[in-house]
Amino acid sequence: MNTIQAEFELLDERFSGIGGDERIEILYTGTRWAEGPCYFPAGRYLVWSDIPNDRMLRWDELTGNVGPFRRPSGYVNGNTRDAQGRLISCEQGNRRVTRTEHDGSITVIADRWEGRRLNSPNDAVVKSDGSIWFTDPPYGITSDYEGHRAEQEIDGCHVYRADPVTGEVRKVTDDFERPNGLAFSADESLLYVVDTRRKHLRVFDVHADGTLSGGKVLAEGTSDGIRLDDAGRIWAAGEGGVLCFDPDGTLIGRLRIPEKVANLTFGGLKGNWLFIAASTSLYALMTNVRGLTPSGTP
C-alpha cells in the first residue's frame, strides 16, 4: 500500500491534540479530477467521482479493491446519502440532482427552477426533514471538460432546496458567485456554504419554514467541499490541503496534502476515517476525531 507522511500543521492551540496515523494511505491514483467522496456504512464502501472521465469509482473497505461504480455517470460531482442510505448525486452533465434507489433505478430530484434548466448542480446535503439542499454553479456548462457546453438559462448561481413532499425547488440564496460545498450544523440551525470564486465560507441561520437569513462571512481561504466533525469544527478543502476551522471561524490547523483537494468526508465504522478526494488520487487517514453524522443520514 502506498502512503505518504501525515503533516498536521498547528496554527492555533485549539488544534493541539488533533491528529491521527503518522502516514496517509493513498487508496487510488488515476483520476483526472477526484470529487464527491461518500461513505456507506452498511456496505463499508466509498464511492467518489472522477468528473472529466464521466465515471464514479467504488473503494471496498474490507478488500481494499477499487472498481467502477457507474459509467457514464452524467459527470457527477458531489455525492451524499439520505436517511434511507440512498445515494444522492449532483450530475453536472445532465444538469440535475438524482437519487439512486435500492434497486438501482434513478429518480430525478431536481432539474429545473421556475421552468428553466439548472446550471450544473455541484454539491448536496440532506436535512432531517428529507429536504435536499444543493448548490448550482456553472462548471458543467462552461466547457466540455466537466460536462457539456451549453447556455446558462438561470441568471446567476444559487443555492436551492428541494421539498421532500411536493418536489418544489426553491431558491434560498441569490448572492453567490460560485456556490460550492455546503453542510449543516449538528442541530441544523446553521447552514455553511463555500463560495469558490470569493474563496470564503459563509454561515446562514436556518428557519423552520426552510428559509435562510444572515449569511456573514465566517472564514477565508476555503475553495470547495466541507464537512463538520462532532465538535462542530469545519474541515474544508483549501490552500495546501485540508483546513480545519473552529466553529467561530478561526483557522486552527491544516492537514497537508500534495495535490489540490476538492472534497472530503468522514467514514469508517467509528466515523474517524477522513477520506480526501484530491486531483488524481483518493487519500485516507484514521484520525482521533469523529465526523458529524448529519441528522438526515444514517
Rounded Cα distance between 152 and 103, Å, is 34
Q: What are the strands, taking DSSP E only, across 127-280? A: 132-135, 157-162, 169-176, 179-184, 190-195, 200-206, 212-220, 222-228, 234-238, 241-245, 251-256, 261-267, 273-278
- Which has the closest alpha carbon to 242: 212, 228, 263, 217? 263
- Which has the closest alpha carbon to 78: 30, 34, 141? 34
Contact 228, 186 (CB under 8 A): yes
Q: Residue 70 has what pLDDT?
A: 98
Q: Residue 186 has what pLDDT?
A: 96
Residue whose C-alpha cell is 467514514: 267
pLDDT digits (tens, 9 = 90+) for 24-47: 999 999 999 999 999 999 999 999
Q: Map residue 15 onto helix, strand or coil.
A: helix
Fill in the DSSP letter of residue 13: G
Contact 257, 43 (CB under 8 A): no
Rg, C-alpha atoms of the chain: 18
Average predicted confidence (pLDDT) for the chain: 96
C-alpha triplet 107, 108, 112: angle, nearest 5°: 170
Rounded Cα distance between 291 and 228, Å, is 6
Cis peptide before 137 (omega within 30 of 0): no
Q: Residue 1 has what pLDDT?
A: 79
Rounded Cα distance between 94 and 75, Å, is 7
Q: Map residue 14 onto helix, strand or coil.
A: helix
| Amino acid found at 156 | G
Report residues of the chain scoring pLDDT below 70: 294-298
State the CB neighbour count (10 A cutoff) for residue 258.
16
Q: Residue 293 has what pLDDT?
A: 79
